[in-house]
Amino acid sequence: MGFPHKSHPKETVVLSQYFGDAEARTYKGWVKRGGYEALTQALKMDPAAVTDVVKESGLRGRGGAGFPTGLKWSFMPKEKKKPHYLCVNADESEPGTFKDREIMRWTPHALLEGTAIAAHAIRAEIAYIYIRGEFTEPWTIMEHALAEANAAGVFGGIKIYLHRGAGAYICGEETALMNSIEGKRGNPRIKPPFPAAAGLFGMPTTINNVETLAAVPHIITRGAAWYKGLCLSNPKSTGTKLFSVCGHVQRPGNYEVTLGFPLKDLLYDMCGGPPAGRTLKACIPGGSSVPILTREETEATLLDYEGVVAQGSMLGSGGVIVFDDSADMVYQIMRLARFYAHESCAQCTQCREGTAWTTKIMERILAGQGKTKDLDLLLDLSENMTGKTICVLSDSCAAPIVSGIKKFRGEFEAYLAGKRQPVMVG
């Protein structure tokens, strides 16, 4: 449902059914709503059979990459020679994204249940849920739910622990997340080896996003065919997805729709469109790391992995940032560049230098001191920041720059020509 608003008739409510229902946070309340039935059922199944059901459902990773979940699980060694680990990525830090926070705040047991099922499927005895340090409220709720579930003894031999981050966007990158759990700086690792071969503490590991795991109990109890049937467009994109909508809309919040749903209906019907008297100018559909869409592209987008790519962007995390005609795209792109410059782990030169210089050039343009060749310089920098580093943080900084200059060039040129009031950037 469109928390904090009432459910909209066009939503398909699965994961968000109990958002806003405080009783669902408690163990008793969760069991009363059919909770932990899926876990009981899964624990009686062979781990490979659980993986097969998830594979068959078509569920894909909801953290941003969209990798098929069952396939990821199947990469874990068939013959268990070492401890296996599951890491749950609750480091939600992608600007525009706030869905995992809501899942943990309202349905902590849904995440714990999905975590235990996944741990069983990959034969992990320990699962760490990595929650970003700033999520103080979700942490307290998760801690309480975990204590209640442990007291009820629902997890069998699986141990689940919470691990608190300490302020670093990059720890949402799976290998950086593992380093952070190991008590290290959150620097991403070079792949291969992939986590399923050598992950946390050098052992076979799977990393899954909160929303992905919250969907798993539903797939177990209602079946792969039911999940697969939730599809409005491309059969490679199945199930429901939470979209966090923010920025210039009348009713920001989380909305759950079946994949393939039109972005236009989400923004205008559910979110009420831009504030009165304003018109939509641009939209970032999948968290700040994906290319910006124009109004025309936005209104033609179908929300699934393939549909957003067809319009030149990506579904990503489902964090939808809306800009109306009052937004200064040059200033906002500078803010995004600054975000990546601040969050770069500084391992790779292209990223450490590239994000910093991109920000400086953007600030120079805003201050009215830009040069005509700055736009080419930014594009050249972006090219050298794409596909050249250990992780994709650097690529993510380049995405809004490249798409921004291409689609809103006039706004950049207005600053360069002295036709816009310079903005002194603090």
Partner 1 sequence: MSTSHDTTEYQPVFVGKVLEELQTVLQRYPNKQAALLPTLWIAQREAGWISDRIMAEVAEVLGLTPAYVKGVVTFYTMYHQHPVGKNFVQVCTTSPCNICGAEAVLKALLEQTGAGDAGATSPDGKWTIVEVECLGACGFPTPILVNDDFIENVTPDKVPDLVRKYR
CB 310 → partner 1: shortest distance, Å? 25
Count of alpha carbons within 13 Å of 208, Cβ hemisphere only?
30
Which tokens go with 335?
């803010």
383 binds partner 1 (CB under 8 A): no
Strands 302-303 and 85-90: unpaired
Is the omega angle on the peptide bond into residue 47 within 30 degrees of 0, that is, cis? Answer: no
Q: Per CB under 8 A, which of residues 144..163 are in contact with partner 1? A: 161, 163
User: Which listed residue (103, 345, 351, 405) binds partner 1 by CB under 8 A?
Assistant: 345
User: What span, in angstroms and rounded, lies between the C-alpha atoms of 144 and 227?
Assistant: 30
97 binds partner 1 (CB under 8 A): yes
The DSSP code for 269 is: I
User: Which listed residue (154, 220, 283, 321) binds partner 1 by CB under 8 A?
Assistant: 321
301 binds partner 1 (CB under 8 A): no
61 binds partner 1 (CB under 8 A): no
CB 149 → partner 1: shortest distance, Å? 16
**Which range, of 91-99, 298-306, 362-370, 373-381, touches partner 1 by CB under 8 A?**
91-99
Q: Per CB under 8 A, which of residues 25..54 are in contact with partner 1? A: none
Residue 72 or 248: which CB sits closer to partner 1? 248
92 binds partner 1 (CB under 8 A): yes
94 binds partner 1 (CB under 8 A): yes
281 binds partner 1 (CB under 8 A): no
Determine contact, residues 252/246, Cβ cutoff 8 Å.
yes
- Give the end-to-end CA distance of the chain in Å, rounded to a whole number: 39
Q: Which residues contact 5 (CB under 8 A, 6 or more apart)?
A: 251, 253
User: What span, in angstroms and rounded, lies between the C-alpha atoms of 162 and 145?
Assistant: 11
186 binds partner 1 (CB under 8 A): yes
CB 87 → partner 1: shortest distance, Å? 12
**Which range, of 9-17, 95-103, 215-223, 416-424, touches partner 1 by CB under 8 A?**
95-103
**DSSP H helix total and E strand total for the chain:** 18, 11
Which tokens go with 85?
């680990």
CB 196 → partner 1: shortest distance, Å? 19
Phi, psi torsion values for 115, nearest 5 degrees: -65, -45
User: What span, in angstroms and rounded, lies between the C-alpha atoms of 361 and 383?
Assistant: 15
**Which range, of 56-64, 165-173, 258-266, 370-378, touches partner 1 by CB under 8 A?**
165-173
180 binds partner 1 (CB under 8 A): yes
Determine contact, residues 274/249, Cβ cutoff 8 Å.
yes
**Which range, of 134-142, 225-233, 389-397, 407-415, touches partner 1 by CB under 8 A?**
134-142
Residue 118 or 292: which CB sits closer to partner 1? 292
Q: Per CB under 8 A, which of residues 197..256 are in contact with partner 1? A: 201, 244-248, 252-254
Q: Which residues contact 426 (CB under 8 A, 6 or more apart)?
A: none
CB 142 → partner 1: shortest distance, Å? 14
193 binds partner 1 (CB under 8 A): no
6 binds partner 1 (CB under 8 A): no
User: Which listed residue (30, 36, 106, 135) binds partner 1 by CB under 8 A?
Assistant: 135
User: What span, in angstroms and rounded, lies between the C-alpha atoms of 337 and 100?
Assistant: 24
Residue 136 or 279: which CB sits closer to partner 1? 136
115 binds partner 1 (CB under 8 A): no
Determine contact, residues 186/180, Cβ cutoff 8 Å.
yes
Between the CA of residue 304 and those of 204, 247, 325, what are the distances in Å? 30, 21, 26
Q: Which residues, listed in sequence order, are joined to residue 128 by a DSSP beta bridge?
A: 87, 161
Q: Which of 342, 398, 63, 77 is nearest to 212 (CA)?
A: 63
Residue 44 or 183: which CB sits closer to partner 1? 183
Strands 240-247 and 253-258: antiparallel
**Interface map 322-341 toward partner 1 (x if CB under 8 A):** -x---x----x--xx-xx--
**Which range, of 32-40, 128-136, 150-158, 369-377, touches partner 1 by CB under 8 A?**
128-136
User: What span, in angstroms and rounded, lies between the C-alpha atoms of 5 and 255?
Assistant: 9
User: What span, in angstroms and rounded, lies between the C-alpha atoms of 320 and 15?
Assistant: 18
Q: Which residues bind partner 1 (CB under 8 A)?
A: 4, 83, 92-98, 101, 132-137, 161, 163-169, 180-186, 201, 244-248, 252-254, 288, 319, 321, 323, 327, 332, 335-336, 338-339, 342-343, 345
